[in-house]
Amino acid sequence: MKAAVISFPGSNCDEDLVWALNTVCGQDVDLVPASATALDGYDLVLLPGGFSYGDYLRSGAIAKFAPIMPAVRRFAAAGGYVIGICNGFQILTEAGLLPGALQANTSLKFICEPEPLTVANAATAFSSAYSDGQSLTLPIAHGEGNYYADAATLAALEANHQVVFRYAANPNGSLNDIAGIVNARGNVLGMMPHPERAVEALLGGTDGLGVFQSLIDATKGAADAKRA
């Protein structure tokens, strides 16, 4: 697998993702600046956490206009796997690649703590290494992680099993305890918790490894299907 981690001005989790995928998981990873305009040759694209463009206007509202984003849209439209974590999730919703929006936490405070989650759908390219109903603990670090969607969108997400992760003790007010969702096609995931911060025991736990192992398996399967 060859992965591209997009680095926006203000990203601060890009190197964490490179470490998780390259050093821990042994995959080929490039750090791609947001000023780039192509994503040829990659199997996976990751949008990291942080504060892209200083979170001016709204989190992700400026990043959606970055030069790299048309390439991200083309990559997703072609069926490529895309994951946005924290600020990356906010960018994906702002860019229209995922439905809904991330609002300010109901506490109006920045929350940084380990958070218990439940795997709501293990039948995705991002969660197949887990089992349905499995309990995980992943760190969160956000001020705008309160997931919102209108009633029709929320009903569609539930009916189509697009909710992948839920909070066990909702820390931010997200509707339906949503911590992560996929698009209808199942190749784009947005999640607020940080799996890249839970890939080594030294960091406090390894519950995040399943996200990356799932993607490694999915991209290998896609590559094998192309060769068949």
What is residue 22's three-state secondary structure? Answer: helix
Beta-carbon-side half-sphere exposure of residue 161 (alpha carbons within 13 Å): 9
Question: Which residues are catalytically annotated?
Answer: 86, 194, 196
Backbone conformation region of residue 17, classed left if phi is above 0, alpha if psi is from -120 to 50, else beta: alpha
Please give the structure tokens belonging to residue 116: 């218990």
d(C-alpha 209, C-alpha 197), whole Å? 9
Instruction: Assess contact for 127 and 210: CB atoms under 8 A.
Output: yes
CA distances in angstroms from 131 to 68, 193, 199, listed in the order given: 34, 18, 18
